[in-house]
Structure 1
Amino acid sequence: MEKHTMLGQNTLRYFSLFILTLQTTLTVLAMRYSRKQTEGGKDLYIATTLVLVSELIKFMFCLILLLIQKSGSIEQLLKALGSEVIFKPSETAKLAIPSSLYTIQNNLILLALSSLDAATFQVTYQLKILTTAFFSVLLLRKDIKAFQWLALIVLMSGVILVQFSSDGKQKEANIVPSNPHKHLIGMLAVVASSLSSGFAGVYYEKLLKESAQPSVIIRNIQLGIFSIIFGTAGVVINDWDKVSQRGFFDGYTSVVWLVIMLQAMGGLVVAAVIKYADNILKGFATSVSIILSCLCSYVVLHDLNLDLTFVLGTGLVILATFMYGIQSQNTPFIGSNSSNNLIVDKDENEDISRASYTKVNNDRTYQKLSSTI
């Protein structure tokens, strides 16, 4: 019996990792493809509308999960929303800062993938490991081990090599881009989104440690409310003229809807991985995803020229992911895909549908995994 149980757990562990790898890779590649020039000279979709639609679908997933938790009773659902969300405005308001940061992060990721190939983005975005560690030390006074700092140095070295590779290939090919600052804009967007991811996750962890805990799904609904508010503000402030002229869903294709659904399902995948896998295996999934992104960018999207410097830099980033994961085996994960923000509570055994944030407090573990990715 125990043998069959262990076999079943191993099957679930590796299956969940396979799905995470597939979802992470497809999300990045689909987002990159959706931001490339469309056929027939048609306009691209308005990026802020995609962020808002994604948040709306995630919010609906949360409501459905809460309804299931309440045995399908609409009355119990409304009662829970009233008592935990509407009539606790101060508790709900605490989620405003992380929600706003993750909404900004989602927009920055789309901007980055409009300027960078999927592989360069995927490798560089691992900087979120560094930013999360930095803010953990600064705000939570966490102790980062020497081996972890070494891993972070290796990570930075790998990212720098990847950037040298990108710059060198353009100079060697005498490429004069239509927008000479496009690559710089993409890089700044990745760095800014990594900073946002790190700060928001650590801020949320600090918030959880200092306040009473409602149910995990309720926290996700509170996050969703502000994400929708900030997402709507982004559309109105930045792109209202475009929406008025072209329509909200102008430029939406099957690929765009695929991106939205991949982001929405990302939280469920993350929840499964947290339940069945450990840090090293998750690092392995991240590494495989980076390799697949490189191959697909080279073979399918044709927007990546591999050279020795890029391969070496990517290898260092993958090595750093493993090094950090080994040292963190008994500590919470730092970073993951995402821009798809969910909260996950291992003890409550709930699969939740928003990309996640992290808390560790004795026997309760919250994970901050950014899905988008």
Structure 2
Amino acid sequence: MKWYFVAALLTVLTSSQGILTTLSQTKGSYLYDYATVPFLAEFFKLVVSGLLLWREFRVSPSTRITTEWKTVRLYPIPSIIYLIHNNVQFATLTYVDTSTYQIMGNLKIVTTGILFRLFLKRKLSNLQWMAIMLLAVGTTTSQVKGCGEASCESLFSAPIPGYMLGALSACLSALAGVYTEFLMKKNNDSLYWQNVQLYTFGVLFNMAKLIVDDFQSGFENGPWWQRLFNGYTTTTWLVVLNLGSTGLLVSWLMKYADNIVKVYSTSMAMLLTMVLSVILFSFKPTLQLFLGIIICMMSLHMYFAPPHVLVDSPPTPKPAPEALKEVSIDRKADS
């Protein structure tokens, strides 16, 4: 399967996450425990990866898996990074408003490129660096509201800790992605075996979070397993399915493509979500949105197009053929 097909599918699924989540609300609120959705999504990914691994074993018994502890112990680290990242997110939102937080989140585009270069030793050309910067500018432009709105005044008025936590959140998000790519490409193990390890720890960490939430609430609504499916509708299950499928596609890209492709997919998904919101939720399109889409499309072309397409270099003149030199041959008469 070509990586660009997977990236396009990831863009579509990611863009529909916010829409499905909004549609799963009833009168503006959730009738289900939203913390159970990531747990079920991780469990879904674990089951699917386990079934695919079993199928791969039946087709090819020589499927490569590594069970050494020194390798397996590396797989909880992404879950730990995401756990810290989620807590930093909540801390950031205590200092800045939602619009500012979304705009600051675009820093992860640049930090991903930097960590991609530092830790994975992947060299990017000057044009590709310019494309990444353009992508960050384009996504930010699309999110900036009109200066007649109150949020425009509060964009640069947050306290310094808010900006520091926002930058830390962007770095943690990029670090989790780059580290996951490092794990996936560390050896030639089966992708499904690597997924089983990742999602096993993902299920355990999400279960631990649900247990902690129970203790913090004093088991007011009972233990988490009793309310696991309470309030679930067809749309809620679509949210779980979407979230799980998105994670599986991301792991495929980490194995066979790279983090930059994932960054472009998620950034384009954000723009697609805004366009769909115009159609579905009567969201008013802004000039900033159109400018952001144009800038991001330019960035996409600049990053992935071959260099000779981007630079119109003058044709190299062909050297003129050398003039033939007349050579005289002295012939001696036969004696």
Shared topology, TM-score over 0.5?
A: yes
For residues 143 and 14 of structure 1, the distance between their equivalents in structure 2, rounded to whole angstroms, comes to 21
Residue of structure 2 in register with 1:320 after alignment: 299
Sort the Cα spacing of 1:129 and 1:322 in 2 relative to 1 into closer, same or farther, 3 A: farther
Q: In the alignment, does 2:237 pair up with 1:257?
A: yes
Partner of 1:198: 174
Distance 1:139 1:21, change over 3 A: closer
| Kept after mapping to 2: 8 A contact 1:103/1:231 | no
Q: Is the 8 A contact 2:184 2:191 kept in 1?
A: no
Please say if residues 48 and 107 of structure 1, whose CA atoms lie closer than 8 Å, have aligned partners that are also in contact.
Answer: no
Q: Hey, what does 2:37 align to over in structure 1?
A: 50
Query: 1:75-123: per-residue Cα shift (whole Å, max 9, x none)?
Result: x9xxx99x844xx3332111111133346668989999xx869xx96x9
Is residue 245 from structure 1 mapped to residue 220 from structure 2 by the alignment? yes
Q: How far apart, CA to CA, are the structure 1 residues paired with 2:178 and 2:274? A: 30
The residue number in structure 2 matching 1:223 is 198
Pick aligned residue for 2:14 from 24, 34, 44:
24
Partner of 1:156: 136
Aligned-pair distance for 1:51? 0.9
1:236 pairs, out of 211, 236, 258, with: 211
Letter in 1 for 2:172: S
Q: 1:371 maps to what in 2?
A: none
Superimposed CA distance per residue, residues 2-61 of structure 1 (whole angstroms, 9 cap, x where no aligned partner)? xxxxxxx9xx89976664443232223213444x6x32x754533322111110111011
SS of the residue 1:131 aligns to: helix
Compared with structure 1, are the counterparts of its residues 301 and 194 closer, same or farther at alpha carbon in structure 2 (3 Å cutoff)? farther
Task: Assess if the C-alpha contact under 8 Å between 2:82 and 2:173 holds in 1.
Answer: yes
Offset of 1:223 from its aligned partner? Answer: 0.8
**Does structure 1 retain, via aligned residues, the 8 Å contact 2:112–2:259?**
no
Q: Which has the larger radius of gyration?
A: 2
Report the count of equivalent residues: 293
Give the deviation of 1:199 after TM superposition.
0.7
Residue 240 of structure 1, CA deviation: 4.6
Contact kept, 8 Å, 2:78 with 2:179, in 1: the verdict is yes
> Aligned runs of 1:140-179 on 2, under 5 Å?
140-165=120-145, 168=147, 170-171=149-150
Q: How far did 1:224 drift?
A: 1.3
Look up the match of 1:356. Answer: none
CA distance in 2, matches of 1:60, 1:237: 24
Identity %: 27
Q: Given the alignment of the two structures, is residue 311 of structure 1 paired with residue 290 of structure 2, yes or no?
A: yes
Please list every run of 5 or more consecutive structure 2 residues that lacks an aligned counterpart in the other structure: 222-226, 308-335
Which moves more between the two structures, 269-278 or 236-245? Answer: 269-278
> Which residue identity lines up with residue 189 of structure 2 in the other structure?
P
Calculate the TM-score normalised by the size of structure 1. Answer: 0.60
Counterpart mapping for 1:323-342 below 5 A: 323-326=302-305
Q: 2:297 is matched by which residue type in structure 1?
A: I
What is the TM-score of this pair, normalised by structure 2? Answer: 0.65
Aligned to 2:50: 63
State the Cα RMSD in Å.
4.9
- With 224-233 and 250-259 compared, the bigger mean Cα shift is at 250-259
Shift of 1:288: 6.3
Query: How many Å apart are 1:241 and its aligned residue?
Result: 4.7
Secondary structure at 2:32 match in 1: coil
Contact 2:75 2:197 in 1 (8 A): yes
